[in-house]
Amino acid sequence: MLKFPQPDVEQFFQTYGIETFAVSADESQLVFSTNLNGKYNLWAMDLPNTFPYPLTFHNQSCEHVTYDPKGKFMIAVVDKDGDENGQIYAIPPEGGPLQPVRKKDGARHIYPFLSKDGKQLYYTSTKDDETYMKGYRFNLETEEEEVIVHGEGGMTVLVDKSPEEKSFLYMKAFSNTYQLYYVKTGEEDLLLTPSPEPQHTVSEAVFVSEQEIYLLTNYESDFSYLARFNLETKSFEKVVHAEAEDLKHMKYDQTTESLYIISEKGVRDQLYRYKLGKKQLENLESPVSVIDQLVIADSGTVYLRGDSATVPANLYKQTGEGWESLTKYGVPGVNKEYLTSPDYVTYESFDGLEIEALLYRPKPEKDNGHMIFWPHGGPQAAERASFRSLFLFLVHEGYSLFAPNFRGSTGYGQAFEKMIEGDWGHAPRLDNVAGLDWLIDEGYATKDSILLMGGSYGGYMSLLLHGRHPDYFKAVVDIFGPCNLFSFIDSVPEHWKPAMAQLVGDPEKDKEKLDEDSPINYLDTMTKPMLVIQGAKDPRVVKAESDQVVEALKEKGRDVEYIVLEDEGHGFSKKENEILVYRKVLEFFNRHIQ
C-alpha cells in the first residue's frame, strides 16, 4: 500500500494569488494578475474557456488592470520589486512587452480609467505633487495632458467621470477616517455630504446619470450607508442602511439600474443588490467570506474575486444557477483535512470594550502546546475570515494561533476605528494584553508557551509588547515593523504625511506620547530571542526602522537574527522569498520551543 508524507511548509505556500482582474466588454476575454510562474504576471482566459495562458513576463506586481472599451488594448499599473511606485503601461489583448504610457521614476500612478471612446486616459499621480497628488486627463492620440483636479489640505484622487464626461468625482483624504468626496462640474466643486464636519468618510461614489450620484458614507452615523446626491438641486439624501454593517464598496449595473454593494461586518463580507428607487437592499448569496473586487460586465453579468478561511483567492462568475468558479486555486498537495478554519471568539478588554478575535487550534494529535499571538497590521484594518497560508501551515505544524481585532480595526464602526488615532501604543496595547490574559485564563496558553509575531503595525505592536510585557513571550518575530515613531513619521511616503498627525501624532505637540509609545525606548527589556524581517525597497516602513532596532539590540548582546530581502517592499511579491521567510520563521519558532 502506498503511503505519502504529510505536506510540509512549501506546499502550503505553493498557493497562487490573484491581485486584480478585468473583463473585456464583450466578455470574450478575462485578464488577471497572478503568480502561476512564481512571480506576478498578467494571464488571460478566452471565455467561456477557463484555461489560462500568459500575456506578460515582467515578473512584477500589478495593482490595477482595465480594458479599452473597444477591446483594442489594456491599461495596467505595475511597480518594481514592491516599491509601490506604479507606472502605467498598455498591452494588446494577445499580450507582449509592456508599453509605457505614463511613467516617471520615483512617482506613483494610481486609479487609471478610460473615456468611453478609449482615447482619453484619466489617472492620479504624485509626479508633480508628492504630497497632495493631481488628477490628470491624457490624450492617447495627441499625447496632450491637462490637470483635472488638484488641491491642498488632503490627498486628492480622481475616481470617476459622468456618463457624458462633463463632471468628475474626486476624493480628498485627510486620514483613513476622514475622506470627503467632491464633484467637479464646470467651475464648481461640490461636496457630496452636507458638511465636512463632523469627520466622516465617503468610501465610494458612482455616477448613475449625468445628474445623479450614489455614495457610501458614514456622515453623522457610526456605520456607512447608501446615500444620493443630485447635481441639479445640490441635495443630499440618505437612502438605505444595513444593520450594524459598513457598506464599503459598490458597482453600478446600468443594464438593470442596480447597485451591487459589499458590506463589511466584523470578519465577513455580505453582498447586496440595490435597485434604484426600491429603497431596500436585496441580500445576495456569495461564494466567499471576503470579497476583494467586483466587476460588472456591460451585459450585467457579475464577476468577483474573493477568498475564505481555507480557500485562497479565486475568480467567480454569477450565473442563473449561482456562482461558477473560473479559477480552481487551492492548496496543491494538501488535503482539505489539513486546512483548519478558525473559531471566532470575543473577550472583554481592560475598559470593558468587546474585542473579536480569530482562534486557530491544531488537531489534538499534532498540538505542540504553544500559542502564536498575532497582532494584525494596518492598524486601521482587520484580521478577517480570509485565506492565510502562514496561519494554516503554522497550525498544521502544531501551533495554535490567536489574532485579535483590537480597537482601531475596521468592520466595527467609525467610533471603534478612530480609537487608535493618536494612540498607537496605549489602549490598543492593553487590548492585546487583555487578549493574552484571556488565553491564559481560558486555558489555551501559559506564559511560558506564547510566541509573538506581527507585520507592519503588527510588527510595531510585537516590538512594543516585547519591550513592555516580555514575561508573556518565549520568542518574537517582527516583520517590517516601525520601532521609532518619530523616524517613522518622517520617512513615510510624502502623500501619507498630511494624515500622520491624526493617525499617529504630531512630533512636537505629542512628543511625550510618541516617546512613550516608541518600542526603541524599551530595549533594556527586549530580552527574548528575535527574528526581524525587512524588505529593502519598503516605502511604508523603510529599512532604517528595522536597522535601528537590530543594531541597538546587537550592541546589547541580544539574540537577534535579521533577514533583508533586497527585491521586496512591504510584503512578498515573489514566491521564493515568501517560502524562504516563513520556512525561517518555522525553524526559529521550533528552535525556541524546545
Query: Is 60 part of a structural domain of the chain?
Result: yes
* Ranges of H-type helices in 397-496: 414-418, 427-441, 457-468, 485-491
Nearest to 468 by CA among 518, 532, 530: 518
Is 381 inside any structural domain? yes
C-alpha angle 190-167-120 in degrees, rounded to nearest 5: 140
pLDDT in tens, 521-572: 999 999 999 999 999 988 899 999 999 999 999 999 999 999 999 998 888 8
- Distance separating alpha carbons of residues 116 and 463, to the nearest angstrom: 50
User: What's the pLDDT at 409?
Assistant: 97
Task: Say if residue 188 is exposed, middle or buried (CB neighbours under 10 Å; 0-12, 13-18, 19+).
Answer: exposed
Q: Give the residue among 149, 127, 125, 147 at the shortest CA–CA distance from 138.
A: 147
**Final residue in a domain of this structure, among 107, 128, 152:** 152
Specify the CATH number for the domain of residue 586.
3.40.50.1820
For residues 180 and 196, the answer to whether their CB atoms sit within 8 Å is yes
d(CA 145, CA 164): 19
Give the 3-state DSSP-derived string for 199-265, with helices as H, strands as E and coil as C: CCEEEEEEECCCCEEEEEECCCCCCCEEEEEECCCCEEEEEECCCCCEEEEEEEECCCCEEEEEEEE
Instruction: Work out the mean pLDDT of the chain and round it to a whole number.
Output: 95
**Phi, psi at 459, each rounded to 5°:** -70, -40
More confident call, 9 vs 174: 174
**Looking at residues 239-263, what average pLDDT do you find?**
94
Query: Does residue 278 belong to any structural domain of this protein?
Result: no
pLDDT tens for residues 253-276? 999 999 999 999 999 999 999 999
Q: Answer whether 266's CB lies under 8 Å from 355's CB.
A: no
3-state secondary structure of 488: helix
- Write the pLDDT tens digit of every residue in 288-332: 999 999 999 999 999 999 999 999 999 999 998 899 999 999 988
Question: How does pLDDT run across 98-130, given as a tens digit for each residue?
Answer: 999 999 999 999 999 999 999 999 999 999 999
Please count the structural domains in the chain: 2
- Give the tens place of pLDDT for each residue, 149-171: 998 888 999 999 999 999 999 99
Edge-to-edge order in the sheet of strand 202-207: 202-207, 212-217, 225-230, 235-240
Read off the pLDDT of residues 129-156 as tens digits, 9 standing for 90 and up. Answer: 999 999 999 999 999 999 999 988 889 9
**What pLDDT, on the 0 to 100 scale, is given for residue 139?**
97
- List pLDDT tens digits, range 506-521: 999 999 999 999 999 9
Q: What is the pLDDT of residue 335?
A: 82
The predicted pLDDT at position 572 comes to 85
* Burial class of 1 by CB neighbour count within 10 A (0 to 12, 13 to 18, 19+): exposed
Q: Is residue 189 part of a domain?
A: no
Please give the pLDDT value at position 279. 80
The pTM score is 0.94
Burial class, 39, CB count within 10 angstroms (exposed 0-12 / middle 13-18 / buried 19+): middle
Rounded Cα–Cα distance for residues 242 and 237 (Å): 16
Instruction: Report yes or no on 326 lying in a domain.
Output: no
pLDDT for 573: 82
Domain stop point among 152, 172, 191: 152
Q: Would you call 113 helix, strand, or coil by DSSP? A: strand
Query: What is d(CA 175, CA 496) in angstroms, rounded to the nearest whole number?
Result: 9
Strand 473-479 and strand 450-455: pairing?
A: parallel
So what's the pLDDT on residue 58? Answer: 94
Domain boundaries, position 54? 18-152
Dump pLDDT digits (tens) for 168-204. Answer: 999 999 999 999 999 999 889 999 999 999 999 999 9
Residue 589, SS3?
helix
Position 38 scores a pLDDT of 85
pLDDT in tens, 447-504: 989 999 999 999 999 999 999 999 999 999 999 999 999 999 999 998 899 999 999 9
Q: For 509-558, give the DSSP string.
A: TTHHHHHHT-GGGGGGG--S-EEEEEETT-SSS-HHHHHHHHHHHHHTT-
**Domain end call among 121, 152, 183:** 152
Other C-beta atoms lying within 10 Å of the C-beta of residue 230: 13
Q: What is the CATH number of the domain that holds 24?
A: 2.120.10.30
The predicted-structure confidence for 62-78, as pLDDT tens digits, reads as follows 999 999 999 999 999 99
Indicate whether 89 belongs to any domain: yes
**What single letter denotes the amino acid at residue 378?**
G
The amino acid occupying position 286 is: S
Share of the chain above pLDDT 90, in %: 87
Element (DSSP H or E) covering residue 592: helix 575-592
| pLDDT of 333 higher than 90 | no
Distances (CA, A) of 176 to 104, 137, 180, 436, 485: 27, 26, 11, 28, 18
Q: What strands, in cross-sheet order, belong to the sheet with 371-373?
A: 343-348, 354-360, 400-405, 371-373, 450-455, 473-479, 530-535, 560-565
The burial of 273, by beta-carbon neighbours within 10 Å (0-12 exposed, 13-18 middle, 19 or more buried), is given as middle
Structural domain contains residue 231? no
Minimal CA–CA distance to 556: which of 526, 577, 531?
Answer: 526
Residue linked to cell 495562458: 53
Q: Would you say residue 302 lies in a domain?
A: no
Instruction: Quote the percentage of the chain above a pLDDT of 70.
Output: 100
